[in-house]
Amino acid sequence: MTFVLSQSNYGKSEVRLVKVVRTEGRHELSDVTVDVMLEGDFAAAHNEGDNRALLATDTMRNAVYVLAAKHDVAQLEAFGRALVEHFVVAGPTVERVRIQLVEHPWARLGEHEHAFQRGNGGDRVAIVSGDGHSVRFEAGIEGLELLRTTGSGWSGFVRDELTTLPETDDRILATALSARWSYAEGGIDYGAAWHAARDAILESFGDHFSPSAQFTLRRMGRAVLKAVEAIDRVHLSLPNRHHLLYDLSRFGLENPNEVFHATSEPYGLIEGTVAREQ
């Protein structure tokens, strides 16, 4: 029997990078987690233990910090492109590079010039990949926590001998949304596009009666495509953060849809891709 290495990649994950841009009287803060992944001809290392073509992952980490000193980290896509261009050249047999950047938000404390609190609104994601000739940009959101206390139901679903869940036309709908999309080629203000996409998701989450998370997923996807012409398709993932009405009758109390048990597992997971018609 003969065995061959059909594919391989390696890199450095979860490089935590914080950069403070210090201008007189005001500081700007960027907090980013960077993942570096290299693809190419690494067969010698796997087959013969010959490491001469391998760039150490420790070197990859150092490169992230060195390039952060030279580039504007707040411009995620531009910083990602600089990393791609660096690693395509730095690795002797590297053929393709994929950089994922996840920006963790911090909010300024009022008008304070150099004090911050942890922000909300989800983590901004940028994925930049390239082979030295062309570069592709993807983006998204991680952990966008959303909740509505009414205006959501779940009824009319399949019922069989194993079904115990009651139907409802008034429930809490909660999720920690993740989304991914790619951009068309051309001059794009990536920061403005990302904020427009997130704003569309936020607005469409609460502007309708939701008969299901599936219905709301499609509505949010359509809103993103309407808001940003440079996005052709968006994939959304909605874990259902269940809030179960707690039974207080055993204590002689009524519970008029006010007291809930919030549970994280197990949970329903609703995913889908909304795309423009071709």
**Model pLDDT, residue 5:** 84
The answer to whether 238 and 184 have CB atoms below 8 angstroms apart is: no
Catalytic residue among 86, 175, 216, 242: 242
User: Do 117 and 160 belong together in one domain?
Assistant: no
Whether residues 170 and 241 share a domain: the answer is yes
Sign of CA dihedral 112, 200, 274, 272: positive
CA distances from 25 to 69, 204, 262 (A): 21, 38, 44
Catalytic-labelled residue, pool 33, 57, 93, 149: 57
Q: Are residues 275 and 152 in the same domain?
A: yes
Is 274 in a helix, a strand, or coil?
strand
How far apart are alpha carbons 63 and 89 in whole angstroms? 12
Q: What is the pLDDT of residues 133-162, one digit of tens each?
A: 999 999 999 999 999 999 999 999 999 999
Query: Which of the listed residues 133, 155, 188 is the one where a domain comes to its end?
Result: 133
Cβ–Cβ under 8 Å, residues 154 and 166: no
Helix 190-205 × helix 213-227 angle, to 10°? 150
Pick the last residue of a domain from 133, 150, 171. Answer: 133
Q: What is the mean pLDDT of residues 11-39?
A: 96
Same-domain pairing of 103 and 152 = no
* Residue in 12, 86, 175, 216 annotated catalytic: 12
Q: What is the DSSP letter of 113?
A: S
Last residue of a domain, one of 106, 133, 160: 133
| Whole-number average pLDDT of the chain | 95
Q: Are residues 109 and 25 in the same domain?
A: yes
Confirm whether 12 is a catalytic residue.
Answer: yes
pLDDT tens-digit map of 85-134: 999 999 999 999 999 999 999 999 988 999 999 999 999 999 999 998 99
pTM for this prediction: 0.92
DSSP 3-state assignment of 74? coil
Q: Which domain holds residue 87?
A: 8-133
Whether the per-residue pLDDT at 185 is higher than 80: the answer is no
Residues 272 and 149 in one domain: yes
